[in-house]
Amino acid sequence: MRKLLDRVTPVTFFGSAIIALCLILYASLSPRSAAATFTAANAWIVTEAGWFYLLAVGIFVVFLLALALSPLGRIRLGPDESTPDYSYGTWIAMLFSAGMGIGIVFYGVAEPITHFSFPPDAAPLSAQAARDAMEVTFFHWGVHAWAIYGVVGLALAYFGYRRNQPLLLRSAFHPILGERIHGWIGDLIDIFAVVGTLAGLATSLGLGVSQLNASMNYLFGLPQNLATELLLIGIVTILATITVATGVDNGIRRLSEMIILVSCLLMLLILALGPTTFLLQALVENIGLYLDAFVSRTFHIYAYEPTDWVGTWTLFYWGWWISWSPFVGMFIARISRGRSIREFLFGVLFAPAGFSFIWFTIFGNTAIWLDLNVADGAIATTVADNMPIALFTVFDYLPWATALSWITGLLVAVYFITASDAGALVIAMITSRGEEEPALWLRIGWALTCGAVAGGLLLAGGLAAVQMAAVIAALPLTVVLLLMCYCITKALREEHGMSLSQQLPSAPLVQGAGGSWRRRLAAIVSHPGKPQVQGFLRGTVAPAFATVVKELGERDIAADSQLLEESVVLTVHHGGNAADFVYSVQPVAHPIPAFALTDVARRDGERRRYYRAEVFLSQGGRGYDIYGYEGEQVIADVITHYNRFRHYLYASSPPPA
């Protein structure tokens, strides 16, 4: 048992597990009471805090766009020489499948046709209602949604891969909390992340099971009821548990790539079988409508003409995206190492949103056109009565309806599985000290828990209860995300100031005794293991740091060095409000490049790993290896960085009063 628990964060794990268990029991054993509680809390948030949600999301959009266009956008999410782990196409596929997969299938027809039938501002079933329907749908599924995910993903990727912090939500608050992120405050932040992820994931699973049930009803006549939905959640949870056990590279990656291919196939079929010319024209106009209303919709809370519409739609979506942001943010951070901030933000904000725009145009405008020209209002009537079957109602008016339904059923099932297993993987990471590959039992346990939470919320009030849970969980997380924006800004400004100081000429390496260059060359072409690098840290780096500490002490400058299990750390203390100078050397694993493998290893496809003694400053990894340096050379490198740091302190210190 102790070995099992050694790989989890106790407070976060048990705190999150207890909250999840209480939620499951409350919703399952007292569904009426739970439904009443959710309804009251949701009503209060919509009435009293709806303005806060809209304002916060507007801030996220402005913040990320400004950051992407600024010089800070060149900073890489990882060491300066790092490269992305996945190709751009695979990266986009994984972003999209984790972020919105189930939702776009469920709402692809349902949302546009509902706004067309019951518009907030126009006459029902009019041309203006059709324009407004697509404009609002684009607004809900566009840049704003992905800005919420982008804030969390950027923070986690930057602090995790650039500053070598754990891949946890707490790490984003290091600029204001310091080492306290490793205490109870950090545990509380991560518990918020787990609970929010469970609520957001339950929403997606609730939508997914409703859509899957509708697919089974259309194809096999399976009844649409709560019992069937609970059975389907159980089946899909088992499949997701199997998939999550295979990890990101095998299970989730392959499913994500398959999802994009199947989604594109379905879109192309609808485009070809439906009113093709009208759809192409509508796409162009829809983009124009979206851009024209971008700012006004961002802050439109209907203060002068109060309506339930904004709470039912916009605030629900913002709550859903915010509650799900720890999951999607951590997942996209996990797959985005090595990209620049600008590349990351442009990809996250625009690529999935662009795909969504095409999807909603093809499905939403097809439904509107058919309802006006063929169905004589029957589609709108059916959707109002039974939203999950919206997509299949459209298929009834197109050729190849059965084939389209089978493809849709497959798509929903795979989206369902990827959302569940990616969510379980992320929660397992949060509760296991940020490990990128958490223990198998932990991944399986959280996959089962996600399914249980979704089932419990369905018992407590069906899909409406699931949606309300997302809005409620989002309130504390909104405050967390706003603070996260401040922390990102503070950290990036510090790094930018430091990079300017590093433009000073570098001090030359001190040449050692005879044979120094030979030892250095041997270190460059070798591929040492971890024990060799740790021996170098103990035998060369630690004594060099001790020499620097002694010299600084003689000059009345406080400093200390620590030989830890995984690193050697030199810290120079300046007192007052001045930052400390931190220089550490850590063993970092890398795959041996293909050109350096032996012929036998290359034929066998072997990909062994070697270790480098890499330098880390307080701003993150520098990306170079000092293995093989002599003590004097290590000291020279420390002094070079300390000189730059002192220059930064002088440049950034306020003038005396």
Q: Domain residues for 631?
A: 511-652
Q: How confident is the model at residue 520 (pLDDT cuts 50, 70, 90)?
A: low
Answer yes or no: do 462 and 541 share one domain.
no
DSSP code string of 448-474? HHHHHHHHHHHHTTHHHHHHHHHHHHH
Answer yes or no: do 620 and 577 share one domain.
yes
Q: Mean pLDDT score of the chain, rounded to an integer? A: 81
Which of 450, 466, 494 terminates a domain? The answer is 494
The pLDDT tens digits of the residues spanning 186-211 come to: 888 888 788 777 776 776 677 677 77
Which of 494, 529, 550 terminates a domain? The answer is 494
Answer yes or no: do 361 and 426 share one domain.
yes
Q: How confident is the model at residue 513 (pLDDT cuts 50, 70, 90)?
A: very low
The pLDDT tens digits of the residues spanning 602-625 come to: 444 444 678 888 999 887 777 788
| Degrees to nearest 5, angle at CA 297 with 479 and 363 | 105
Answer yes or no: do 540 and 459 share one domain.
no
Helix (H) or strand (E) holding 624: strand 620-625
* Amino acid at the residue 98: A
| Cβ-contact 112, 362 below 8 angstroms | no
Does residue 505 form part of some domain?
A: no
Q: How far apart are CA 225 and CA 203, in angstroms?
A: 17
User: Across 278-389, where does the E strand assignment appear?
Assistant: none
The pLDDT tens digits of the residues spanning 372-409 come to: 998 888 888 888 887 777 888 888 898 888 888 888 87
Instruction: Give me the CATH number covering residue 403.
Output: 1.20.1740.10
- Please give the pLDDT value at position 341: 94
Inter-residue long-range contacts of 622-629, CB under 8 Å, 24+ positions, other chains counted: 622/79, 622/80, 623/79, 623/80, 623/81, 623/82, 624/81, 626/541, 626/585, 627/523, 627/528, 627/533, 627/536, 628/519, 628/520, 628/522, 628/523, 628/524, 628/536, 629/509, 629/520, 629/540
Answer with the residue of higher pLDDT: 143 or 435.
Answer: 143
Q: Is it the case that residue 177 has pLDDT exceeding 90?
A: no
- Please give the pLDDT value at position 544: 94
Answer yes or no: do 396 and 475 share one domain.
yes
pTM (2 decimals)?
0.76
Answer yes or no: do 396 and 520 share one domain.
no
The pLDDT tens digits of the residues spanning 305-349 come to: 888 888 888 988 898 888 878 878 887 888 888 899 999 999 999
Answer yes or no: do 260 and 358 share one domain.
yes
Answer yes or no: do 458 and 533 share one domain.
no
Answer yes or no: do 454 and 539 share one domain.
no
Answer yes or no: do 194 and 274 share one domain.
yes
Q: How confident is the model at residue 451 (pLDDT cuts 50, 70, 90)?
A: confident
Does residue 657 form part of some domain?
A: no
Name the range with the highest mean pLDDT among 40-54, 174-188, 536-550: 536-550
Does residue 273 form part of some domain?
A: yes
Q: Is it the case that residue 1 has pLDDT exceeding 60?
A: no
Q: How confident is the model at residue 463 (pLDDT cuts 50, 70, 90)?
A: low
| Cβ-contact 451, 234 below 8 angstroms | yes
The pLDDT tens digits of the residues spanning 90-140 come to: 787 777 765 556 678 778 888 999 999 998 888 888 999 999 999 999 999
The pLDDT tens digits of the residues spanning 551-606 come to: 999 998 999 999 988 889 999 998 777 788 999 999 988 887 665 555 444 444 44
